[in-house]
A and B are shown apart, each in its own frame.
Chain A
C-alpha cells in the first residue's frame, strides 16, 4: 500500500513541475526585488499563501471527486463576519465561536453535497445558488453594515509566530499533513480518486460514491470557514466581499498544482505549490507596476493554460 501511495506521488510529474515553477518564480522575483527573499518577507508570503491554500484544500478534495465548489467566497465571508459579531472583539467567546463556525461551514457543505447527490442538482448550480443565498442571508443578518474588529487572539493566530515560524504556517502545515495522509494512505482517499476517475466504475466497485462526494463538500465548507476566521485575523476586520477573490484563486491553485479539473488525478501537495505560485505572482505585480486587476486576469489565464496543457495532447487527435 505504501509503495502504491508513493508511486502515485512519483507519477505526478505536474506536482514536481509546480514546485519547480514556484521556486523559479521566487528566485526571479527576488533577483529583481531586494528584500523579497528576506526572512520577514518570506513569512509574510507564507501567511498570505496559507489563506488561498486553506480554501484550496477543500476545493482540491471537491475537484478530485469530479465536482466544484463555487460557494467558497461567501462561506468564507460568512464565517469571518459571524466570528467578529459573535466574539465582539473578545477572546473568551472564541472557545465556542471557532468550532461553531467551522461546523457551520461543514453544514453548508453538507447541504451542497446532499443537494448534489440526493437531489441530483449539478454542482455548479447547487454551489452557485448556495453562494448567492449565503450572500443574501448575510446582508439580511448584518443589514449591510460592517462589523466589529477581530479579537486579539485571532490576530495572534494569523500573524504571530513561535521562533521563526508563524503560528499560521504551523496550522497550515498540520492541516496539509492531515490532507496528505487522508489522500494518500486512507480508504477514503482511494475511494475519492476512484470516484473522480469514473463515477460509475467506482459505484459498481462498491464505493459509497454519494457519501464520499458529500464529505468532500463538507471538507470544503469547513476549510473555507476556517480560512475566513484566520483571514479576518490577518486583515484585522471582516468586510462584505472579502471572500470574492478566493473562488478563482482556489480553483487556480488546484489547477496549477496539476490536478485534473475533471477529477481523479492530482494531490493537495500540488495545490500547495499552486498557492505559493499565486502568492509570489501577487507579490511580483507591484514590482512590474501592475495593479490587482491584473491578478484576476492572471488567475483566468493560468486556469485556462493549465487545463488546456493537461488535456491538449489527448484532445488534438480528436478533430471535428
Chain B
C-alpha cells in the first residue's frame, strides 16, 4: 500500500499555465457578459465610495468641500501610492508583500538622512526612490528569472528590508527638515499638493496602461504563456512591474514622512494588507489581467472614509483594521464570483 505521488513531485515539471477556457478566439465584440464583467469592477468601488461619503456627510458638516477633498487626499495618498504599485503587480497575477519593508525603510532613511535641506535632501530623496526601484527589481528578477513564487520571494524581502529599516532607525523617531515638510502645504487654485500628486498619478496611469509595458503586464496576467508566444518579453516585463511596485512603495514612504514628520521602522507593515485591500476592493482581479488604477483609487479612498466614519460614529478606531480585513475577504469573494460569471457567459 504505497502512494508514490508523495515522493515524485509532479509539479516540478512546472507546466506553463494553460489559457483559461473561453479566452481563445474571443473577438473584440462586446457580449453582455463581457460588458458586465468590464463595467462592474469599476462601478462597484465608486458606488461604494459614494455611499460611504453620503453616509459620512449625514453625520458631518461640510463634507463636500475642497478642504475635505484636500484632507482626504492627504490621508489616502500614502496608501494610494503603495496600492498603485500593488495594482501593477496584481494585474500581472503576482503579489508584493515586500512593500511593507520598503515603506518602512524609506521612512527610516528619510527621517535620518534628509539632513537640513538643500542638495543633500534632493540627493537622498532621489536615492531612496532609486533604492525602492532596485529592491523591487530584485523581487522581479527572482520571480521572473528564477521562477520562484512571488509570495515567498516578497515575504523574504519584506523580512530583509524590515530588518534593514530597524538597523537604520531602531525606534520611531528621527527628524525631517522643515523645508521638506513644507511642500505638502503648498496650494495652487485651492488644490493642495497631495491632490496634485494624485492627478499626476492618474495622468501617469492613462499614459502607462497603453505603453508596451502596460499592455504586456495585462497580457501576462491573463495568460503568461500566450503573452510569451505573442512576443511579450515576459522576464523584462515582470521585473519592471515589481521594480515599479518598489518605486511606488519608496515614494509612499517619502510622502508618509511629510504627514508624521518622523520615521518608523515598522510603519510599512500596515500597508501590506491595506494596499491589497484597496486593489481588490477596486475590482482588480487577484488572478491577474483584469482591473486597473481607476478602481484602486476608489478602493483606497473607501478605506480612508471608513476610518473617518468609524471615528464619526464614536466607535473605537481599533475597529478599522477589523473592517478592512472583513471587507478585503468579501471583496475577494465578490471578485471571484464576477470572474466566474464572466467565464460562464463567455463560454456559452
Instruction: From the candidates B1, B157, B161, B286, name the one contacting A122 in the complex (CB within 8 A).
Output: B286
Whether A300 is near chain B, meaning CB under 8 Å from some CB there, is yes
Complex CA gap A201/B165 in Å reads: 44
B322→A264 contact, CB < 8 A = no
CB proximity to B under 8 Å, residues A131-154: 131-133, 135-137, 139-140, 143-144
Complex CA gap A68/B156 in Å reads: 13
B160→A1 contact, CB < 8 A = no
Whether A177 is near chain B, meaning CB under 8 Å from some CB there, is no
A190→B146 contact, CB < 8 A = no
B2→A1 contact, CB < 8 A = yes
CB proximity to B under 8 Å, residues A237-294: 248, 251, 255, 260-265, 291-294
A136→B166 contact, CB < 8 A = no
B329→A264 contact, CB < 8 A = no
B166→A264 contact, CB < 8 A = no
Whether B250 is near chain A, meaning CB under 8 Å from some CB there, is no
Nearest B residue (CB) for A303? B156
Interface string of A193-207 (1 = CB under 8 A from B): 110011001100100
Main SS class of interface, A:
helix
A-side contacts of B322, CB under 8 Å: 132-133, 136-137, 140
B9→A265 contact, CB < 8 A = yes
B275 CB to nearest A CB, Å: 11
Known: A193-B6, A296-B166, A311-B148. A121 touches B159 (CB 8 A): no
Whether B305 is near chain A, meaning CB under 8 Å from some CB there, is no
CB proximity to B under 8 Å, residues A285-320: 291-301, 303-304, 307-308, 311-312, 314-315, 318, 320
Interface string of A5-20 (1 = CB under 8 A from B): 0011001000000000
A-side contacts of B148, CB under 8 Å: 307-308, 311, 315
B97 CB to nearest A CB, Å: 8
A262→B163 contact, CB < 8 A = no
Instruction: From the candidates B7, B12, B149, B332, name the one contacting A121 in the complex (CB within 8 A).
Output: B332
A301→B318 contact, CB < 8 A = no
Whether B324 is near chain A, meaning CB under 8 Å from some CB there, is yes
Known: A197-B10, A197-B11, A314-B14. A133 touches B163 (CB 8 A): no
A261→B6 contact, CB < 8 A = no
Whether B326 is near chain A, meaning CB under 8 Å from some CB there, is yes
A304→B142 contact, CB < 8 A = yes
A293→B166 contact, CB < 8 A = yes
Whether A44 is near chain B, meaning CB under 8 Å from some CB there, is no
A133 CB to nearest B CB, Å: 4
A318→B167 contact, CB < 8 A = no
A198→B6 contact, CB < 8 A = no
Whether B31 is near chain A, meaning CB under 8 Å from some CB there, is no
Whether A4 is near chain B, meaning CB under 8 Å from some CB there, is yes
A-B contact pairs, 30 of them (CB 8 A): A1-B1, A8-B6, A120-B333, A121-B329, A121-B332, A124-B95, A126-B329, A129-B273, A129-B329, A131-B273, A132-B322, A133-B322, A136-B321, A139-B321, A140-B318, A143-B318, A198-B10, A248-B159, A251-B152, A262-B149, A293-B165, A294-B163, A297-B160, A298-B163, A300-B160, A303-B156, A311-B146, A311-B147, A315-B146, A315-B147
Q: Which residues of A contact B (CB under 8 A)?
A: 1, 4, 7-8, 11, 68, 115, 119-122, 124-126, 128-133, 135-137, 139-140, 143-144, 190, 193-194, 197-198, 201-202, 205, 248, 251, 255, 260-265, 291-301, 303-304, 307-308, 311-312, 314-315, 318, 320
- Beyond contacts A121-B336, A193-B3, A300-B157: 5 other A-B pairs, Cβ-Cβ < 8 A, are A131-B325, A133-B321, A251-B155, A293-B265, A320-B234
